[in-house]
Chains A and B, each alone.
Chain A
């Protein structure tokens, strides 16, 4: 849940990048880290295995600017995508303000995408959240690969409720900032609704 600090006039929000193993969650964060002005970002932390698979989480603090005299800070986290790290995923979802689901567009990864999406819903429900009521964005990553599934098909499978979604190629940055902006916008709009 967001943390509003009147003393330092800051608002902190937590965004989690979710998705199956090797879908490009860490690559999204790395691209954001590499392309962001050093004044606006903190250190990126990756708790990864020796083979650079995410073991616990990646973390990137980002300052977006001021809104009504309050500094807005977003803490971006990724979860470990591999199925057997479910206990860690549950921990990272605690206190989440917004979720990005990074899907792997390759046809052969559709089952893994669906499994991860079900897992997200289940783990959110365990924390007392509903995906439909949580600020939520879908990103179809790896659109550049020859075996990418047609957009209509993947959309029908992974985004039946029609939340904002983006095509991406995170290695070169296509769609990465669009996704980030959309989730930040969704989180802030949600805060606004909650305040009313």
Chain B
């Protein structure tokens, strides 16, 4: 399983952001969100500022998890592409590299065909970035955690969190 701790550095984030900002333009999307399979938001782009992205991330992960469970029941490994059609806005959800979820929100300025086409390219670019992150995390784990910020924390630091 891809269950190593996910550690993302600024350079990773900038690469991810560049891919999804390009995807917003290429797919005429309203908003794009990259979510970890465990429900954490990794990055966002587009014009949908101010929406509740934490809930969006958690529910998207729940949705992927539930349909993944359904897939296994009917003998599929995964259902990697989901499409939800609304009256104004639509959601296109893709599972990338078995770990990352790419959510594209689009309206009638775009089309499902265009989104599918552009997501394919962006998905493979994101897959490469996350494979790199994954490999680095695995190496760090094997080497005993690397330079994670938590290696230096003290019990006092933890206590201070609860002094509120």
Contact = CB atoms under 8 A, between A and B. Distances in A.
Interface of A: 1-8, 11-12, 14, 42-43, 45, 47, 56-57, 59, 61, 64-65, 67-70, 72, 75, 87-88, 90-92, 94-95, 127-128, 181, 184-185, 188-189, 191-192, 194-196
Contacts of A90: 69
A12 B9 CA distance: 14
Interface residues of B, number: 44
Nearest to A72: B161
A1 B38 contact: yes
Interface of B: 1, 3-10, 12-14, 36-40, 42, 52, 54-55, 58-59, 62, 65-66, 68-69, 144-146, 148-153, 155, 157-158, 160-162, 164
B13 A181 contact: no
Given A7-B12, A95-B3, A191-B150, A87 B157 contact: no
A42 B13 contact: no
Contact of A195 (B65, B69, B148): B148
Given A65-B161, A196-B144, A70 B149 contact: yes
Contacts of A67: 149-150, 153, 157-158, 160-161
Contact of A75 (B40, B69, B160, B161): B40
Contacts of A87: 69
Given A75-B39, A127-B1, A196-B144, A68 B157 contact: yes
B161 A184 contact: yes
Given A11-B149, A92-B65, 12 more contacts: A1-B4, A3-B6, A4-B5, A4-B148, A4-B149, A5-B13, A45-B58, A59-B58, A59-B62, A65-B160, A184-B162, A188-B153
Contacts of A189: 155, 158
Contacts of A4: 5-8, 148-149
